[in-house]
Amino acid sequence: MNLWHVPEWSIRRRVLAWLFLAMTLVFSANLLSSYYSNIEAADRAFDRLLLASASAIAERTVVSEDGLNVDIPYVALSMLASTAQDRVFYSVSAPDGHVVTGYEDLPLPKKIDNDALLDPVFYNSIYKLASVRIVALRSFVSGGNLSGYVTVQVAQTRGDRDGLIYSLLQQSALWMLVIAIVGAIAAWFGVSIGLQPLERLREALGRRSPDDVRPVLHEIPKEFKPLVSAINGLLHRLDGGLSSMRNFISDASHQLKTPLASLQSQTEMALRETNPDDIREALVKVNISVGRTSRLAQQLLSHARATGEANSFSNLNLAELVGETIKILLPEAVAKGIDLGYDGDQTAMLQCDRALIGEMILNLADNAIKYSPAGSEVTLSVRMADDGLHLIIEDNGPGIPAQDRQAVFERFVRLQSSAADGCGLGLAIVREIADRHDAIIALDSSHGGGVRVQIVFPFKGTGVA
């Protein structure tokens, strides 16, 4: 398991894990260093005793008439009786090197400098299968025809030293354990205390009413500042969305009010009429108004969908979709005496939302038909180009003056010069849908003086076949 990529780990757990890691490193280093210093301390303490024993033997080593004589004092060995009951070995060697008394084969120090060295030498070795600490002491004796340095060696197994080393080590390990536990407890509560401002923030946000989108202004530790400013950014965008939605709703109700009011007056008029021909005439007017209102409602719905939740994208042939739209509008175009046609590639794959793009094509073509006089031409085309997929709708109608070309994309804007009846939502919807698809809309004049709308879907990744 990757320790650093477990998102569900609590902060407390993360802090403790880091603490554990750091403490393990520090404690291992500490134990290692105290192990070596303990060995040194234990050796210092016990070497003195070993030396005292060797000195006591050396002191009682004399030259008598029948050669070297060693009278080992009782205390020399009994003083080495230790709590760990270590084994004791000793030997005394004459100046010529032969062992006078004691254990014959006690290991000698690696380097023994014959006469110059008078300081005792302490060293570790293995003797009789046990690890031992040995002191070698040289002492000058003289008498008769013998004079020179005798070597006294006293060795002791390491039981007591090791016992001391481990008890010291145990002590420091115990202290480290205490530190680790206190550290862990401190970290445990420290995390709770450190996270308290976040808890206060949570409470404050929880208390808010659903439409309260004011920025959060709480005093907060600097670690949380980026989070709070991200929340504030989100609230700000939410605020923008909410107010545009409110505007849209009020605009939409306003727009629906006018046709409904005219419908009401038309129906009232029809009710007053007694002549069946007049009633019929009034009903025809009502019918036209209902159609217009229904179209408005349809467009409001499309607009809401275009700005609403995420859409489902799929890969489809745009040329085919354009063809289908032409089929839908053909009766209307024929009725108005307009030549509606297609000119472009047969296959142009695009990653898009089918319903939205269909709505977009329908709106643009419908607009072109509506605003063009009888006998005009409306041409739709789809083409692959270097920079992306081009969808072009052009007519040879009256066109839009250059200064108005930005305004037509705003909601509910209708040009004064316009003859046909529209609600002013069509191009706003087109722009929303284009934004959704990261497409670019350009509006300019066609060759025939009419309107030319060009929408470019730039290539991205594998979306375009």
Partner 1 sequence: MRVARLMILFILTGLLLISGIGSTYAGLVRFEAAGTSTQRLVIYSSTDVDRIEPLIQAFQEIFPSIAIDYHELDTLVIHQRVVEETDIGEATADLTLSSAMDLQIKLVNDGYSATFFPEETDALPAWANWRNEAFGFTYEPAVIIYNQAFAPELKSVTSRFELAKKLSDRSLNLQNRVVTYDPEQSGLGYLFGTQDAVQSEDFWYLARSLGDSGVKLMTGSAAMIDKVASGEALIAYNVLGSYALARARENPDLAITVPQDYGLVMSRIAVITKTALNPQAAGQFVDFLLSRKGQELIAGKASLYAIRTDISGEATAKKLQEIAAGPLIPIHLGPGLLVYLDRMKRKDFLSRWQRAMERR
The reply on whether position 130 binds partner 1 by CB under 8 A is yes
Tell me the CB-side half-sphere exposure of residue 222, using CA atoms within 13 A.
Answer: 0
Catalogue the long-range contacts made by 136-139 (C-beta closer than 8 Å, 24 or more residues apart). 136/54, 136/108, 136/109, 136/112, 137/51, 137/54, 137/55, 137/58, 139/58, 139/59, 139/61
Based on CB atoms, which residue is closest to partner 1, 79 or 355?
A: 79
Give the residues across from 69 on adjacent strands. 62
What is the C-alpha separation between 155 and 106, in angstroms, rounded? 8
What is the C-alpha separation between 50 and 58, in angstroms, rounded? 12
Q: How far is the CB of 89 from partner 1 (least distance, A)?
A: 7
The reply on whether position 317 binds partner 1 by CB under 8 A is no
What is the C-alpha separation between 209 and 161, in angstroms, rounded? 74
Based on CB atoms, which residue is closest to partner 1, 88 or 121?
A: 88
Stretch that binds partner 1, among 44-52, 85-93, 166-174, 239-247 (CB under 8 A): 85-93
What is the C-alpha separation between 284 and 264, in angstroms, rounded? 14
DSSP state of 214: P
Q: Which 263-292 positions form the footprint of partner 1 (CB under 8 A)?
A: none
Q: How far is the CB of 75 from partner 1 (least distance, A)?
A: 8
The reply on whether position 423 binds partner 1 by CB under 8 A is no
Catalogue the long-range contacts made by 240-244 (C-beta closer than 8 Å, 24 or more residues apart). 242/211, 242/213
What is the C-alpha separation between 134 and 128, in angstroms, rounded? 13
The reply on whether position 89 binds partner 1 by CB under 8 A is yes
Based on CB atoms, which residue is closest to partner 1, 77 or 355?
A: 77
Q: How far is the CB of 92 from partner 1 (least distance, A)?
A: 8
Q: Are 126 and 154 in contact (CB under 8 A)?
A: no
The reply on whether position 378 binds partner 1 by CB under 8 A is no
Based on CB atoms, which residue is closest to partner 1, 66 or 309?
A: 66
Stretch that binds partner 1, among 128-136, 244-252, 282-290, 393-401 (CB under 8 A): 128-136
Stretch that binds partner 1, among 98-106, 167-175, 347-355, 423-431 (CB under 8 A): 98-106
Angle between helix 11-59 and helix 159-194 axes, rounded to 10 deg: 160
Based on CB atoms, which residue is closest to partner 1, 81 or 217?
A: 81
First to last CA, the chain: 41
Q: How far is the CB of 38 from partner 1 (least distance, A)?
A: 23
Q: Are 289 and 421 in contact (CB under 8 A)?
A: no
Stretch that binds partner 1, among 115-123, 124-132, 133-141, 202-210 (CB under 8 A): 124-132
The reply on whether position 165 binds partner 1 by CB under 8 A is no
CB neighbour list of residue 126: distance below 8 Å, 6 or more residues apart? 107, 132
In 3D space, the residue among 342, 398, 405 whose CA is nearest the CA of residue 374 turns out to be 398
Based on CB atoms, which residue is closest to partner 1, 85 or 229?
A: 85
Based on CB atoms, which residue is closest to partner 1, 87 or 295?
A: 87
Based on CB atoms, which residue is closest to partner 1, 88 or 319?
A: 88
The reply on whether position 101 binds partner 1 by CB under 8 A is yes
Binding flags for partner 1, 50-79, as an x/- string (CB under 8 A): -------------------xxxxxxxxxx-
- The secondary element (H helix, E strand) that includes residue 136 is strand 130-143
Length of the chain in terms of residues written: 465
The reply on whether position 1 binds partner 1 by CB under 8 A is no
Based on CB atoms, which residue is closest to partner 1, 48 or 128?
A: 128
The reply on whether position 349 binds partner 1 by CB under 8 A is no
The reply on whether position 81 binds partner 1 by CB under 8 A is yes
Positions touching partner 1 (CB under 8 A) are 69-78, 80-81, 85-89, 100-102, 128-130
